[in-house]
Structure 1
Amino acid sequence: MRIVLADDAVLLREGLVRLLVEDGHEVAAAVGDGPALVEAVLAHRPDIAIVDVRMPPTHKDEGLRAAIAVRERLPGAAILVLSQYVEVSYAADLLADGVGAVGYLLKDRVAKVGEFLDALDRVAGGATVLDPQVVAELLSARHRRDPLAALTARERELLGLMAEGHSNAAVARRLTLSGSAVEKHIGNVFAKLGLPPDDAQHRRVLAVLAYLGA
Structure 2
Amino acid sequence: MIWHLIPWMVLERTVNALLQHDPNSSERLQQLAGKHFRFSFKELPFDINIAVHTDGIALSSVDDGGPLDCHVRTELGVLPELSDTANLTRLIKADQLDIDGDPMLAQQLVNLFKALDIDWEAKLAEKLGDGMAHRVSTLFKQSRERFKQHSEVRQRWLKGVLTEEKQVLPNRLEFELFKDDVQALRAQIERLQRKLK
Q: Could you state the TM-score of these two structures normalised by the residue count of structure 2?
A: 0.26
Normalized per residue, the structure richer in helix is 2
Query: Which one scores higher on RCO, CA 8 angstroms, separation ≥ 6?
Result: 2
Q: Could you state the TM-score of these two structures normalised by the residue count of structure 1?
A: 0.25
